[in-house]
Structure 1
Amino acid sequence: MNFSFFKRKKAITLHTIAFYNVENLFDPLENEGTLDADFTPKGVKRWTTHRYKRKLQQLAATISEIGLSASGCPPDLVGVAEVENKLVLQELLATGPLKKVPYDFVHYDSADERGIDTALLYNKEIFKVVSSQAIPLVLDGSNGLPESTRDILYVSGKLKGEPMHLFVNHWPSKRDGTLATEYKRIIAANTITGFMRGIQKEYPNANYVVMGDFNDDPSSLSIQTLKRSHSLYNPIEKLQTPTRGSVNYQKSWCLFDQILLSPNFLTDTKGTLTLAGADIFDEGHLKESKGKYKGSPFRTYVGSRYLGGISDHFPVYIQLELK
């Protein structure tokens, strides 16, 4: 895609905020302290430099297109999940159309045993980072010992001068069963709401953006717990149908990827950012084109079998209009 097309429309100023689980963006190196041996050239997945570079190209092209048709430019903020380290983020931002956007990122290494983290990509000309930290998610495993999992990334900053507090999440999976793991995601929700209470003491009218792969649908108790705490609004919720979602599991659509907002973004006050729309970025080239999984996200791997796709999730995004 030609960068000359990335021109923000003058008639309307839209700012795109996206979230994308990029499905195991590992470098091909074996790194100490993480269980990443499968993602090496000699590992089970035969993860070569060629395959890695191909994935970077595909992800860079996809990210650059999110919300582009309405805003005229790539997203200003992108939360990402399943990135291994700073190196893969640096190489992603140096790839294809992304290298022409003034992006930087916020990332912390988490305690996740697989070494997959969350991060925030941001356009330095639009968003200014004020502070950031990794919020540990404290869980006890079945053996009573602390469970290693992803931190919650918190970033405070200003988008076109308007302060906001962002949380990027990748909540514990349902691998051991929905009901057996539900408490973990509720703890994650309560961890965020507790952190928000601290923010409220200093900033009573704080703007919140909570995004992530929550491994739960909008109707789940964990998401409802998160919504109720600070009257958050979930514009992604209305997008879920039996034939549409952000991830497809056993031929059923789920909407695990969501972006929730504080009610401040629902006003029409002049000079503020107001919600203009929300969508799932599920363009045709991101989907399986044939077979029994036609229409599902075109993933990189199924088990150890390489398919060459981009991710097993579709990105989701919102757009804010500067009134």
Structure 2
Amino acid sequence: MRLDQRNQAFPGHDLIHLNQETLTAGLLTFACVLGISERHLLHRGSTVQFVGQPYLTRFGSLFQSFPKAVTTEKRLKVGQKLLFKLGGTTDVWVILCHWQSLQTYSEGEYVRVEIALQLRGYVEDIYEQDPNALIIICGDFNDEPFSMPIQMTLKASRDISYVKARSTALFNPTWRLIGMNDLVTGRHLPAGTCSSSDARHMTNWRTFDQIILSSGFLRDEWSFVGSGVEIMSNIMVGGNPLSWKELSDHYPITCNLKRAV
């Protein structure tokens, strides 16, 4: 997730792009999320230096909930909720998710709806405090954007106009990562965020990894940059391409937003 501001971790950059320098800024932000100190990221011989403080800073403690499912009495992996301060003034809620796999709870099982109901409850709690709250929900849901838990229970829509007219709905830009959107050149491969060997779905790819936004990010001062969301299938490290599929069957994704200041 990239939140573009005039005053960033590396001054002089109007937009944050994933090059060598600003990738480190992103790593430092994740260090803040995970409670890892900068010394664990910067090692001897590195040419990268930490300048100032991250523009997006964590505020308050980590909240993680594992409620029990009504149907199975087993714990549900709903998510981790964190509060950040953007520029020291604006609240940004981030909910990190990694839902149970389809091998644990298959598609159509009510337990998956229960997980989404719990997550929707987190969102409603935030909206009670601030109806215009900035909320980012991201992670591996092991469900597609069009699944019942994501679309109907969590209320994450693919339609910007729908969400703008209903402030408590959520916008899911990850819909554009489903399939190929350039049939001539074959660009925008892979055709999803996660490789799948299950031929029953008539595809080699699933879009399980998603970034979902509250309607607050659709207000006038916010706008998407470029295509908004992308699958990072081509990553350069030290001038050499990184073969991501050798590391994971899930590709990382980015969401690029800009706020007028």
Instruction: Bin the TM-score by the shorter chain.
Output: 0.5 to 0.7
- AA at the equivalent of 1:129: R
Contact 1:193 1:230 in 2 (8 A): no
> Once the two structures are superposed, what CA deviation does each residue of 1:76-125 show, in whole Å capped at 9, x if it has no partner?
48779xxxx978x98863469697457xxxxxxxxxxxxxxxxxxxx942
Alignment equivalent of 1:281, drawn from 232, 238, 249: 232
Change (3 A) 1:185 1:133: farther
**What's the counterpart of residue 56 of structure 2?**
127
* Equivalent residue number for residue 138 of structure 1: 67
Query: 1:132-162 deviations in whole A, cap 9, x for unaligned?
Result: 33332323498x5433x54511111122343
Please give the residue correspondences for 1:81-92 in structure 2 after superposition, counting only pairs within 5 Å: none
Does the Cα contact within 8 Å between 2:77 and 2:115 map onto a contact in 1? no
Deviations 1:281-302 (A, max 9, x none): 1116444xxxxxxxxx52xxxx
Q: Percent identity?
A: 26
- Indicate which of 252, 257, 260 corresponds to 2:204: 252
Report the equivalent of 2:219: 267
Q: Is the 8 A contact 1:130 1:157 kept in 2?
A: yes
**Change in CA separation of 1:218 and 1:177 when aligned onto 2, cut-off 3 Å:** same
Query: Structure 2 counterpart of 1:168, which letter?
Result: L
Q: Is 1:315 equivalent to 2:242 in the alignment?
A: no
Shift of 1:7: 5.3
**Equivalent residues, number:** 214
Q: Secondary structure at the match of 2:66?
A: coil
> Per-residue CA shift, 1:231-274, capped at 9, x if unaligned?
111112111106511110117101110000112212332xxx43
Q: Return the alpha-carbon distance in structure 1 between the equivalents of residues 193 and 39 of structure 2.
A: 25
Residue pair 2:62, 2:81 contacting (<8 A) in 1 also: yes
Q: Measure the CA separation in 1 of the matches of 2:213 and 2:59.
A: 19
Runs of at least 5 residues in structure 2 that lack an aligned partner in the other structure: 1-8, 157-166, 181-189, 198-202, 236-240
Which runs of structure 2 are paired with 1:72-151 in the superposition (5 Å)? 73-74=22-23, 76=26, 93-94=41-42, 100-101=49-50, 124-140=53-69, 144-147=72-75, 150=77
Report SS of the residue matched to 2:172: coil
Maintained 8 Å contact 1:9/1:72: no
Q: 2:78–2:116: 8 Å Cα contact kept in structure 1?
A: no
Which residue does 1:45 correspond to in 2? none
Change (3 A) 1:177 1:146: closer
User: TM-score, structure 1 length as denominator?
Assistant: 0.56
SS in structure 1 of the partner of residue 119 of structure 2: helix
Report the equivalent of 1:13.
15
3-state SS of the aligned residue for 1:164? strand
Q: How far apart are the structure 1 equivalents of 2:154 and 2:30?
A: 18
- Give the match's secondary structure for 1:195: helix
Root-mean-square deviation (CA), in Å? 3.6
Q: Distance in 1 between matches of 2:53 and 2:139?
A: 21
> 2:215, 2:249 → 1: CA distance?
31
Taking the aligned partners of 1:193 and 1:79, their CA distance within structure 2 comes to 24
8 Å Cα contact 2:177/2:192 also seen in 1: yes
Residue identity matched to 1:261: L
* Change in CA separation of 1:135 and 1:206 when aligned onto 2, cut-off 3 Å: same
**Contact in 1 for aligned 2:57/2:86 (Cα 8 Å):** yes
Alpha-carbon distance in structure 2 between the residues aligned to 1:92 and 1:254: 33
- The letter of the residue matching 1:174 is L
Structure 2 partner of 1:200: 127
Q: Hey, what's the Cα distance between the residues in 1 that align with 2:127 and 2:21?
A: 35
Matches within 5 A, 1:284-295: 285-287=241-243
The one-letter amino acid paired with 1:258 is: Q
Helix, strand or coil for the counterpart of 2:173? coil
Asked which structure has the greater RCO (Cα within 8 Å, sep 6+), the reply is: 1
Contact 2:172–2:212 (8 Å) recurs in 1: yes
2:98 alignment partner, one of 166, 170, 174: 170
Establish whether residue 68 from structure 1 lines up as the match of residue 18 from structure 2.
yes
Q: Does structure 1 conserve the Cα–Cα contact (< 8 Å) formed by 2:132 and 2:215?
A: no
What TM-score does the superposition give when structure 2 sets the normalisation length?
0.67
Instruction: Give the counterpart letter for 1:68 in structure 2.
Output: L
The alpha carbon displacement at 1:185 in A equals 2.6
Instruction: Give 1:47-66 correspondences, 5 Å limit.
Output: none
